Amino acid sequence: MLLTASLCNISLSWVNGVKGEMVEPKVLPPLSSVEELGTGNVGSWRAHMNAMQTVVAQGLTSALIFEDDIDWDIRLKAQLYDTAKAFRMLTRPPVSDSPVETNSASIPARINSGELLDLNFHELPAESTPPDSPYSDDWDILWLGYCHGPWSPAPGGQSKDQVVQLTDATVPMKYGLGDYPPQTRVWKYVSDPICSLGYAVSQRGARNLLYEAGLVSFDKAFDILLLEFCQRYNCLLTQPQLFNHWRKPGKKSCDSDISPAGDGPELQQDWTPTIRQSARLNMKKLLKGDTNYDDQLPD
């Protein structure tokens, strides 16, 4: 993880993992049970709460939290630039006298309950007042890495808008989003992801999450707590995800300390779902300065 990040010019600050057996039951929120949750879930929860404490204690404006077995595309920084632009649009203050243009003809309209608006990424209106944060000033969680793959057309959160990019070369051709054409990327409010592989928190979000999951209730796995948190707070995501599990060769049971997948067929080579130019799989080329990167999910 450290080497991969270094080769992509990403600096990391480490938060130690926690063994659930080392967490005193008395420090858990009310009605929490180590026996019911399992020590794996308890350790994961404690580590994420420690990360939230660090963000709050240091007064960080925002922080990106990684689990240490993730992977990303070599073009991550360009992806984050586009993501910031889309999130700023989704969280813009409503302007009653300047409505956003309706759907582009090249993007299929969606009709569910009420008016649902797709905003063409390449036709977003100019911003009148730049926010202090590149990702906007009104969010709690940006859920950028998760393991729930199927497309969910229902937008979450308080907004029914979503930003759509029809031609994103970082999206695998085989990755489908409902009726949208191949290689479509969507940014929207959180609907139903699971797995906390990679997410950003604002200072406001860290405080709220530390309160809700650290003091009020811890009765299920942390990622489910995060999903429930996002059903009440301001959380956005991009689909497909920017971060995903890196799967190394060997038994599936090695993939998780929380819920081992058993001893099914062994993986013969490492790979990362939904990530095309994998940073981990291109590590040797990055070390050599070879820019002819391997694409594990070519068109």
pLDDT in tens, 147-205: 865 566 655 555 568 899 999 999 999 888 888 999 999 999 987 889 999 999 999 99
Looking at residue 230, what is its pLDDT?
Answer: 93
- pLDDT band at 47, cuts 50/70/90? very high
Percentage of the chain lying above the pLDDT 70 cut: 81
Average pLDDT rounded to a whole number, residues 83-112: 61
Average pLDDT rounded to a whole number, residues 275-294: 96
Looking at residue 98, what is its pLDDT?
Answer: 43
pLDDT digits (tens, 9 = 90+) for 221-263: 999 999 999 989 999 999 999 999 998 766 665 555 555 555 5
- 3-state class of 199 per DSSP? strand
Looking at residue 115, what is its pLDDT?
Answer: 54
pLDDT digits (tens, 9 = 90+) for 125-159: 887 677 788 999 899 999 999 986 556 665 555 55
Helical ranges in the chain per DSSP H: 2-7, 34-37, 39-57, 76-90, 203-211, 222-230, 283-288
Please count the other Cβ atoms lying within 10 Å of the Cβ belonging to residue 222.
24
Please give the Cα distance from 192 to 143 (Å, whole number).
Answer: 11
Question: Is pLDDT at 108 greater than 50 in this prediction?
Answer: no
Looking at residue 270, what is its pLDDT?
Answer: 82
Average pLDDT rounded to a whole number, residues 63-81: 96
Looking at residue 163, what is its pLDDT?
Answer: 93
Looking at residue 99, what is its pLDDT?
Answer: 44
> How do beta strands 62-66 and 198-202 pair?
antiparallel
Q: Which helix (H) or strand (E) holds 144?
A: strand 141-145
Of 202, 233, 259, 253, residue with least CA distance to 40: 259
Please give the Cα distance from 219 to 297 (Å, whole number).
Answer: 38
Looking at residue 155, what is its pLDDT?
Answer: 55
Looking at residue 287, what is its pLDDT?
Answer: 97
Are 237 and 142 in contact by the 8 Å Cβ rule? The answer is yes
Please give the Cα distance from 248 to 66 (Å, whole number).
Answer: 18
Token code pair at residue 35: 């026996």
Please give the Cα distance from 108 to 178 (Å, whole number).
Answer: 11
Please give the Cα distance from 72 to 7 (Å, whole number).
Answer: 12
Are 185 and 239 in contact by the 8 Å Cβ rule? The answer is yes
Please give the Cα distance from 188 to 61 (Å, whole number).
Answer: 22
Looking at residue 151, what is its pLDDT?
Answer: 64
Please give the Cα distance from 270 to 249 (Å, whole number).
Answer: 5
* pTM as predicted: 0.87
Looking at residue 103, what is its pLDDT?
Answer: 45
Looking at residue 178, what is its pLDDT?
Answer: 83
Q: How many CA atoms lie within 13 A of 152 on its CB side?
A: 16
Average pLDDT rounded to a whole number, residues 275-284: 96
